[in-house]
Amino acid sequence: MKRELVYAAVFGILILLLDAYLIKSYEKDWETQIDALYQIAGMESEAMDNLQAVGRILKEEVDRGQLERGRELLESYGYDGMYDTVYDRKAGEYKKRIYLVSIGIYMAFLFCVFGIRKTAEKNNRKVLQEISGILSGFKNQKYDVVYGEAMEGEAGELYSQLSSLGKQIKIGEETMFLEKEGTKQLVTDISHQLKTPVAALKTCFSVLEEGDLKEEERREFFLRCKQQLKGLEELVKALVNISRMETGMIEIRKEKKHIFDTMLLAVNSLYGKAEEKQIEMTFENEEGIEKLQLFHDTKWTKEAFINVLDNAIKYSEPGGMIKISMMKRNFFVRIEIKDRGIGIPKKEYTQVFKRFYRGEGERVKKEEGSGVGLYLTREILERQGGSIAVHSKAGEKHGSTFVIQLPLEGIGG
Amino acid sequence: MKEILETRDLCKYYGEGESMVRAVDHTSIQIKTGEFVAIVGKSGSGKSTLLHMLGGLDFPTSGNVLIGGKDIFSLKEEELAVFRRRKIGFVFQAFNLMSSINVWENIVLPMGLDGKQMDKQYVMDIIHTLGLESKLQNLPHTLSGGQQQRVAIARAIASKPDIILADEPTGNLDSKTSDEVVGLLKMSAKKYGQTLVMITHDEEIAQIADRIIIIEDGKVVE
């Protein structure tokens, strides 16, 4: 508002100056005309005829004496300058006209200045109303900013920012919802998993409690209790890991490290177990892979490798062989872990990566396991932008090949 | 989580009477936002027809396709075209790149059609993720199959569609490259929060998806 007042004042002064100038120049003009009249009046009619006198005046040849004489003459008749003459009246009219026109122009100017301001204000108000509408939409969980996005300038920019903010909130909310649902599912799954062994343990104990057992039977039930307890311990360990992973307590911390070293750590930690079963683990790596560094979480990636290798050992016959090959591709390091074990039927390909899934085969049921390992492995790898898949044929000697991909440095951010 | 893509009793029949072929037969599927779904089936199982209808490229005999709750076949033809361009990115087996223009132009072309302001930083980011920086001036035919497929993926993702529909994206590639292409698709979709629907006959490739839908004789089996 202040700016507009300054404009109005400056323009007002300019118009007044212009008016003063116009009036001044008219007055000057009239003075010249009156002088001419004086000159004509002071003319001596014997010396010159009228035409000659007018010609002189037009040529601006001023005859001072004549002029003064004329003035005196006219003054003696009561004509003092412009006062009370046709000029006086005209001057009044002119001034009136000038002032009227100036006032008109000035009003038009004010109208423009304040009108523009009003329109801008109205526009702003509309934008503000729309934004407030969008924001109250946000409150009511409506995050789509539908209007104004195509608008130019700052308002358009504002809309597009609001729109992307809305999208972000939406994604955040959906992620939160997913996490909540995931946690619910996890709690259900875990309680389901724990129920069976706990019930078995309970039965075992209550049998022991009854007391009328032979020493031999007592010992057997005791052993069974112990086994159940051990199984439960394993399960709880796995569940703790999985819960940590699911609830985000495990943070993947990527560091630039040699991927081969991480694999080596995994292999070493299973060395004893493989030795026991006389299973040989060999590398068949692409040259230079030992020097390849990539961003990965060494601790959890090692865990992922261990899970796959552990399965390979578990489901291989004694004397078997496990081959690990690592190669650098365009975007991923590709790790193949190949065994000659029992293999996985095609219809179980995706199942094996599901939480708490265990294979249908007799052989699988015989082995200890909670159905968590491969699920965790997949989670760990996917959180690092990687993937895992199995290529396998069930049956003798075919075994399974697990293919792991982890993104190379600089890929995927 | 909201369903972004849904079919209700979707049918597509060809021919009439005795010789009628039911390419897609009363299919109802739901796909959630951000999900990576693989639709697996043998050739001739109707999976491509299904995908084409999901993307509004083909009209159903009956039933609906809903994208974000909106029935896409209730739209006028021009509206559908705009909707498709804004919401959906396609990756085809045959890549479908324009042979007379270079890689960069292929990637940004669909955005030009839409008069949409291009987010150059985002496009460069994708190009970097897909390792195409050095190929931008190349014409498509000078690239390998895997590289061409990466260009097709970049094109599909660049316009920030909500949904990417991929029809046998690895059909022409060897198995190691296939693994990489699917890995990349998954990684990009996760990174940019996009929903990915991929059609494949290869169950090994499909494993990388979050969920698998198996289709046989036009019907969802699983």
Domain limits of chain A? 2-135, 154-246, 255-407
More confident residue, A19 or A349: A19
* Strand residues in A269-365 grouped as ranges (E): 280-283, 293-296, 321-328, 332-339
Chain A touched by B85 (CB under 8 Å): no
Check the CA dihedral A181-B88-B190-B38 and report its sign: positive
Q: For chain B, what percentages of helix, strand and coil (3-state, to nearest 5) are there? A: 40, 25, 35
Chain B touched by A104 (CB under 8 Å): no
Residue A305: per-residue pLDDT = 95
Question: Does the distance separating the beta carbons of A181 and B179 come in below 8 Å?
Answer: no
Question: Does the distance separating the beta carbons of A174 and B34 come in below 8 Å?
Answer: yes
Chain B touched by A412 (CB under 8 Å): yes
pLDDT, tens digit (0-9, with 9 covering 90-100), for B17-67: 788 888 888 889 999 888 999 999 888 788 888 999 998 888 899 999 998
For A327, half-sphere exposure in the C-beta direction (CA atoms, 13 angstrom radius) is 11
- Gap from A214 CA to chain B (nearest CA, Å): 52
Question: Does the distance separating the beta carbons of B203 and A349 come in below 8 Å?
Answer: yes
**Over 70: is that where the pLDDT of A390 sits?**
yes
| Fold category of A255-407 in CATH | Heat Shock Protein 90 (3.30.565)
Identity of the residue in A350, A385, A413 whose CB atom sits nearest the CB atom of B207? A350
* Strand residues in B42-85 grouped as ranges (E): 62-67, 70-71
pLDDT, tens digit (0-9, with 9 covering 90-100), for A293-334: 999 999 999 999 999 999 999 888 898 899 999 999 878 999
Question: Does the distance separating the beta carbons of A349 and B190 come in below 8 Å?
Answer: no
pLDDT, tens digit (0-9, with 9 covering 90-100), for A250-296: 778 888 999 999 999 999 999 998 999 999 999 988 888 999 999 99
pLDDT, tens digit (0-9, with 9 covering 90-100), for A92-105: 888 899 999 999 99
Identity of the residue in A329, A349, A410 whose CB atom sits nearest the CB atom of B207? A349
- Gap from B217 CA to chain A (nearest CA, Å): 19
Q: How confident is the model at residue A149 (pLDDT cuts 50, 70, 90)?
A: very low
The β-bridge partners of B216 are B219
CA gap B97, B107 in Å, rounded = 9
CATH of domain A154-246: 1.10.287
Supply the DSSP symbol for A317: -
Question: Does the distance separating the beta carbons of A403 and B187 come in below 8 Å?
Answer: no
**Over 70: is that where the pLDDT of B182 sits?**
yes
Q: How confident is the model at residue A401 (pLDDT cuts 50, 70, 90)?
A: very high
- Gap from B184 CA to chain A (nearest CA, Å): 8
- Chain A residues in contact with B68 by the CB 8 A cut-off are none
Closest among A373, A264, A371 to A324, alpha carbons compared: A264
Chain A touched by B190 (CB under 8 Å): yes
Chain B touched by A405 (CB under 8 Å): yes
Chain A touched by B162 (CB under 8 Å): no
pLDDT, tens digit (0-9, with 9 covering 90-100), for B102-140: 999 888 887 766 655 677 877 887 788 778 888 899 999
Question: Does the distance separating the beta carbons of A331 and B131 come in below 8 Å?
Answer: yes
In this structure, the number of other CB atoms found within 10 A of the CB of residue B61 comes to 15
The identity of residue A221, as a single letter, is: F
Question: Does the distance separating the beta carbons of A385 and B187 come in below 8 Å?
Answer: yes
Cβ under 8 Å to A: B residues 98-127: 125
- Gap from A192 CA to chain B (nearest CA, Å): 23
Q: Does domain B34-57+76-220 have CATH number 3.40.50.300?
A: yes
**Over 80: is that where the pLDDT of B210 sits?**
yes
Interface predicted TM-score (ipTM): 0.80
**Over 80: is that where the pLDDT of A158 sits?**
no
Tell me how many degrees the CA angle A218-A219-A220 measures, rounded to the nearest 5.
Answer: 90
Residue A413: per-residue pLDDT = 45
Chain A touched by B186 (CB under 8 Å): yes
CA gap B168, B206 in Å, rounded = 11
With contact defined as beta carbons under 8 Å apart, do A323 and A282 qualify? yes
For A239, half-sphere exposure in the C-beta direction (CA atoms, 13 angstrom radius) is 16
Q: Token pair for residue A352?
A: 């094996």
**Over 80: is that where the pLDDT of A379 sits?**
yes
- Chain B residues in contact with A412 by the CB 8 A cut-off are 129, 187-188, 191
Identity of the residue in A177, A329, A412 whose CB atom sits nearest the CB atom of B129? A412
Q: Phi/psi at B125 (nearest 5 deg)?
A: -60, -45
Q: Token pair for residue B200?
A: 């494949």
Question: Does the distance separating the beta carbons of A385 and B190 come in below 8 Å?
Answer: yes
- Chain B residues in contact with A411 by the CB 8 A cut-off are 129, 131, 187
Question: Does the distance separating the beta carbons of B1 and A177 come in below 8 Å?
Answer: yes
pLDDT, tens digit (0-9, with 9 covering 90-100), for B163-180: 999 988 887 778 888 888
Count contacts between A and B (CB, < 8 Å): 66
The percent of residues in chain A predicted with pLDDT above 70, rounded, is 92
Ranking A6-10, A342-346, B29-33, B91-95 by mean pLDDT, the lowest is B91-95
Question: Does the distance separating the beta carbons of A329 and B184 come in below 8 Å?
Answer: no
Chain B touched by A391 (CB under 8 Å): yes
Identity of the residue in A403, A411, A412 whose CB atom sits nearest the CB atom of B179? A403
